[in-house]
Amino acid sequence: MHEDVKKVLFTAAEINSRVREIGCDISTDFQDKNPLIIGILNGSFVFVADLVRQIEGRCQVDFMAVSSYGSGTESSGRVKIIKDLSISVKDRDIILVDDILDSGNTLYYLCQVLEARGPASISIAVLLDKPSRRAKPITANYTGFEIPDEFVVGYGLDYDDKYRNLDFIGVLKPEIYNK
């Protein structure tokens, strides 16, 4: 799999350090609260696992699974909830956690859906932000790294359900996904 990566953008050590910083920020911002961390599957599972271990104080975790990519590299623009929450968000401080904020279609849609359920607040934490691709008016409250418009894999991010287990984030060679 390493031979499919054109270059490494962020090493495991750089990611771990930044996740620790985000966890510290969330701990400060939600001190004496019990936020509900909502991981967006499948890409965020590694980030969520590492992030919640860095949050001091109480928090709960739940997951949603959505689909907007299929097996391609471009968002279809249509978001479908595949797995919904098992915990109510009514009057809760929620933190949506995703691997990447790209077009913004998924997180924009989920914010609308969740807002209708009556949470106390909605915050967004993303490991990666690709603002050059934004199609919806949405920003993250907590961002790991801003990246250029390149297709990245690793640390939970995939191409065709491969590369999630890489401990770094790298740019996938175009010949891999342009077959």
Active-site residue identified among 99, 102, 129, 158 = 102
Residue 60: per-residue pLDDT? 97
List average pLDDT for each run of 10 residues in the chain, which is 179 residues long. Answer: 91 98 98 97 95 97 83 62 95 97 93 97 98 94 96 95 96 88
- Pairwise CA distance, residues 97 & 162, whole Å: 21
- Residue pair 84/64 in contact by the 8 Å Cβ criterion: yes
Residue 75: per-residue pLDDT? 52
102 annotated active-site: yes
Rounded to 5°, the CA angle 132-172-101 comes to 35
Q: Which CATH class for the 13-147 domain?
A: alpha beta
Residue 29: per-residue pLDDT? 98
The position carrying tokens 């709960």 is 60
Residue whose C-alpha is closest to residue 109's, from 79, 88, 129, 74: 79
- Residue pair 37/59 in contact by the 8 Å Cβ criterion: yes
